[in-house]
A and B are shown apart, each in its own frame.
Chain A
Amino acid sequence: MLKLHYNLEKVSMGLVGAIIAVASVGGIVEIAPLFTIEETVEIPDDMRPHTPLELAGREIYIREGCYACHSQMVRSLADELDRYGPYSLAAESAWDHPMLWGSKRTGPDLARLGEKYSDAWHVAHLIDPRSVIPVSIMPAYPWLTRDLDTGLIEDNLAALARLGVPYDDAMINNAMADARAQSQPDSDRADSVRDRYGEDIAVRAFDGDPSRLTELDALVAYLQSLGTLTDDAHEMFGEDAQ
């Protein structure tokens, strides 16, 4: 062996080949099966993709770096089930490009946040966290009251559809109108959003003002949707989805 290595280290391309070969094994054994074993992810029947407004909110969540302090992955440990709710299933993030499981809880986990607090609470909390939780160390995000930029919203859905998220042509073509309608519960178009994404989605003026579509609308819609895309996790625990 030693003699072999003694000779190997005289040949630079031999060393290159050996490093690539040796380093590839671990990844191939651990990653490749995740794509081929069907039990890795089972998509439940009631699973829906994010609406265009929620997706825009997700982009804001990423832009503002929320994932750095908040995880979205409830582990299968007793105290986490008691604190947050049913543990996260692989299917729940199956259409997340990328996943936002996170790795640090400077703030609490958000995987089961949806419908836990009112829209008004979220709006107040995002604009000034200390107004609702006096000792919070979360930064304030007062600029979220500005208008939502919907320029890329259709392209976003189209790109995700190409990656396998089940957005059909009607969803893609109506994305901009659907985003607006989801924050205008009294408008004529509100029902067509429900037709496309299901009866359970929240159609509300999330920031309290139906006349303007703001970044707050999008972010709050996204936060309220967390953990509500499927009831599977709750059903597994025999609980009623709240």
Chain B
Amino acid sequence: MLQRTSRARLADAVSPWFVLIGFNLFCVWAATGYVMGQTQSKEYAEPEWYADLWLVLVWVTYFVVYIRTLARRAEPHIYVANWYYMAFILVVAMLHIVNNLALPVTWGSGESFTIWSGVQDAMIQWWYGHNAVAFFLTAGFLGMLYYFLPVRAQRPIWSYRLSILSFWGIVFFYMWAGSHHLHYTALPYWVQTLGMTFSVMLLVPSWASAGNAIATLNGAWHKVRDDAVLRFMFVAAVFYGLSTFEGSFLAIRPVNSLSHYTDWTVGHVHSGTLGWVAMIVFGAIYSMVPKLWGRNDMAWPKAVEWHFWLAIAGTLIYVVSLWNAGITQGLMWRAYDEGGALSYSFIESVEAMLPYYAARTLGGGLFLAGALLCALNCRATMRAAGNRVDEADRPLATQPAE
């Protein structure tokens, strides 16, 4: 995408491979860390210091490749998708470094102590944690949305001004919102209130992005109906709008008193990751794979349709069951009987979860089945590679700047 929107080749031949392999190595370390008990226990930042340092190295290389490629661009303007990628790379680096500052116990051991402690640690953790959602799980994927959706729909982005507004809104507002994870805790009240306020304001740039994407489809609705790939992207934008609304809602203090610590939060995160992040990725995969292997379409077009409905059904079942689970937990924990005693013991609220967790497993299973179908479809497409070359793949003559 960077190459296409800049009309320039990647800046280096070796370092992109280092980023690819290095990042995956980090993922392997992180995942095995859970199993082996090598964790610093910070949410979304579990890997220990050696893995964290490695990631910094990979990430800096990533930034250098990115900025050097951008410097070669034949377009005078940097396309909006690339603003988001830039914010993604820069802010994730900022968050990662600050939150993971730690003192290793000895250089020979994997263990370390976070230099932050107590309430400051909690604030830094959720400043990080919430913006891991914002910049790791949103900014990069908005970049995909801003490129693949207009390309697939063959329509220009609806509003340039709205893109500017929502981009800077997201970069600015999100960084304040983390403290809504700490309502009613030992964090000073004014910080909680600031976090809540900015979380609500965040709805403006979030809906501006989602609205911009959906308005771009105006005049192309028949394509949304007929093309499952574009439908994936449309649904992603809708889920993005819905889960950001839910996020702002859950950040309001009294709502949070019910929802916090329950499965509602888990459901909310999954409506974002399954409904928004994964859907836009599927849309991007189905756009890219045939192009890269010189074909007009995926090898099994019908499987794309199947995948779409499996993913939608899976996500909805998953999210709705966890809404019910979370609200049930929240209400059971705070219920009093006439005598003024708590109505339920904790374990009764655990027992009540059985049907919801069963439904959640079913939903997750459907979603996973869809993803497997996608992987098989990609494999089949790669094996049946063609030799189609797009008009646009040929270098364009340089045009004078406007």
Q: Which of A's residues lie within 8 Å of B, judged by CB?
A: 2, 5-6, 9-10, 12-13, 15-16, 19-20, 22-27, 29-31, 34-35, 37, 39-41, 59, 62-65, 67, 71, 73, 75-80, 82-83, 87-109, 133, 135-137, 152, 155-156, 159-160, 162-165
Contacts and interface: CB of A to CB of B under 8 A. Distances in A.
A24 B97 CA distance: 13
27 contacts: A5-B164, A6-B77, A20-B94, A23-B171, A23-B175, A34-B119, A34-B188, A65-B39, A65-B41, A67-B41, A75-B183, A78-B334, A79-B334, A80-B333, A82-B342, A95-B118, A97-B114, A97-B115, A97-B121, A98-B113, A101-B185, A104-B266, A106-B350, A109-B261, A136-B347, A155-B106, A163-B117
Contacts of B78: 9-10, 12, 15
A99 B181 CA distance: 14
B151 to A, nearest CB: 20
Q: Is the interface of B mostly helix, strand, loop or mixed?
A: helix
A34 B176 CA distance: 14
Contacts of B351: 135
Contacts of B335: 79
**7 interchain residue pairs of minimum CB distance:** A26-B175, A63-B37, A75-B184, A26-B176, A90-B186, A98-B114, A105-B261
Contacts of B122: 93, 99, 101
A104 B269 CA distance: 13
A106 to B, nearest CB: 8
Interface residues of B, number: 84
Interface in B23-52: 34, 37-43
Nearest to B186: A90
Interface string B262-295: 1101100000000000000000000000000000
Interface in B311-329: 329
A78 B184 CA distance: 11
B137 to A, nearest CB: 16
Given A30-B123, A75-B184, A156-B111, 20 more contacts: A16-B90, A19-B90, A23-B94, A29-B176, A29-B194, A41-B118, A62-B37, A62-B39, A83-B342, A93-B117, A94-B118, A94-B119, A95-B117, A101-B122, A101-B182, A103-B181, A135-B347, A155-B105, A155-B109, A159-B113
Contacts of B179: 30
A101 B120 CA distance: 12
B124 A77 contact: no
B191 interface: yes
B116 interface: yes
Interface string B321-364: 00000000100011110000110001100110000000000000
A19 B87 contact: yes
B344 to A, nearest CB: 10
Contact of B41 (A62, A73, A107, A156): A62
Interface of B: 34, 37-43, 67, 70-71, 76-78, 83, 86-87, 90-91, 94, 98, 103-106, 109, 111-125, 127, 161, 164, 168, 171-179, 181-188, 191, 194-195, 198, 257, 260-263, 265-266, 329, 333-336, 341-342, 346-347, 350-351
B261 A103 contact: yes
A22 B261 CA distance: 31
Contacts of B182: 101
Given A16-B86, A75-B184, A93-B119, A2 B350 contact: no
* From A30, A76, A105, A106, residue with most partner B Cβ within 10 Å: A30
A14 B393 CA distance: 30
Contacts of A35: 120
Nearest to A79: B334
Contacts, number: 218
B117 A99 contact: yes
Given A67-B41, A88-B186, A135-B347, A162 B103 contact: yes
Contacts of B98: 27
B115 A40 contact: no
A135 B111 CA distance: 35
B187 to A, nearest CB: 8
Given A89-B186, A103-B265, A98 B347 contact: no
Contacts of B70: 12
B118 A152 contact: no
Contacts of B178: 30
A140 B19 CA distance: 40
A39 B41 CA distance: 27
B268 to A, nearest CB: 12
Nearest to A76: B184
A98 B40 contact: yes
Nearest to A95: B117
A41 B117 CA distance: 11
Contacts of B195: 30
A73 B187 CA distance: 11
A24 B94 CA distance: 9
B184 A77 contact: yes
B47 to A, nearest CB: 13
A160 B172 CA distance: 35
A155 B70 CA distance: 47
A78 B350 CA distance: 21
Given A25-B172, A89-B186, A83 B333 contact: yes
A183 to B, nearest CB: 22
A94 to B, nearest CB: 4
B76 to A, nearest CB: 5
